[in-house]
Amino acid sequence: MDTLASNEYVAQDYKSDLKPVWCPGCGDYSVIASITKALAELQLVPEEVAFVSGIGCSSRIPAYSSVYGFHGVHGRALPIATGLKMARQDLTVLVAGGDGDGFSIGGNHFMHACRRNVDLTYIVMDNSVYGMTKGQASPTTEADWGGSKLTPNGTGLLPFQPLEIALSAGASFIGRAFSGQPGELTRQICEGIHHKGFSFIHVLSPCVTYRPEQRAYKDRVHQEWQPTADRTEAFRKLLDDDGFSTGILYKGTKPAFVPETAERASFAEIEAQFAV
């Protein structure tokens, strides 16, 4: 189909020719399908979309899409994406990561991205394990999980709470979805992209290779949340959260951060300003 002529894009138009190499049963297959479907529903021009990622299984997504992409270093996807959005306000900028990339080495960047409220959509595929490095405990792993040889008795640490951190730090759109419910995930991605500000979508994306018990997620998730603009109400909902509530938790009204920009200038004009 000549999408330029018809001006009608379908999900396949946003996919590259590379075949994903995730393990069979990985939830990330459904996530990339939901992302491309969302882009098609919004009819975004591929050349006007950029996807930035860090390191990890989920961070392969830019290679599997046909939009502009940048596969960055571990934990640094958000500052790269922030810089891109600051320079190119005309682009729709998406960011992909996992619980290790986003909440461990990238945890500091996560908090400050929420605080800045730049117009980005951050999709984190959380499976509570380091899947690409063969099954170590991650920041969101349960304290008593002994499935790794490194921590056979569990970590003894309380799991990182990404939604509470995001809400505390100032993210203006927060949702949670399950990869096994692609329709709901697609809806949240569409709303996150449409929202002007930092949109954080927490995706429960099972790793059945190293956490086979996560197959039970489909029986545990429950649609619970309707969006609120009241942060106090959103915090109260999180107090009762069992980790499997889904829906859009919070949609704030804080304006997105947009930098003051100078008039365009050529390199010669810029060099002349600093000439001795």
Per-residue pLDDT of the chain (276 residues; tens, 9 = 90+): 344 445 699 999 999 999 999 999 999 999 999 999 999 999 999 999 999 999 999 999 999 999 999 999 999 999 999 999 999 999 999 999 999 999 999 999 999 999 999 999 999 999 999 999 999 999 999 999 999 999 999 999 999 999 999 999 999 999 999 999 999 999 999 999 999 999 999 999 999 999 999 999 999 999 999 999 999 999 999 999 999 999 999 999 999 999 877 677 788 888 888 876
For residue 125, the cross-strand partners are: 98, 203
Whole-prediction pTM: 0.91
Q: Dihedral (C-alpha) 179, 171, 91, 5: value to the nearest 10 degrees?
A: 40
**Edge-to-edge, what's the strand order for the sheet holding 92-98?**
68-71, 49-53, 92-98, 121-126, 199-204, 173-178, 245-251, 222-225
Taking the C-alpha atoms of residue 100 and residue 29, their distance in angstroms, rounded to an integer, is 19
Note the pLDDT of residue 260.
Answer: 79
Note the pLDDT of residue 6.
Answer: 52
Hey, CA dihedral for 216, 159, 137, 131, is it positive or negative?
A: positive
Taking the C-alpha atoms of residue 211 and residue 194, their distance in angstroms, rounded to an integer, is 34
Instruction: Classify residue 133 by its DSSP letter.
Output: T
Taking the C-alpha atoms of residue 102 and residue 116, their distance in angstroms, rounded to an integer, is 16
- Residue 119 vs residues 33, 66, 104, 256: alpha-carbon distances, Å: 23, 21, 23, 6
User: Encoding tokens for residue 63?
Assistant: 């290679």
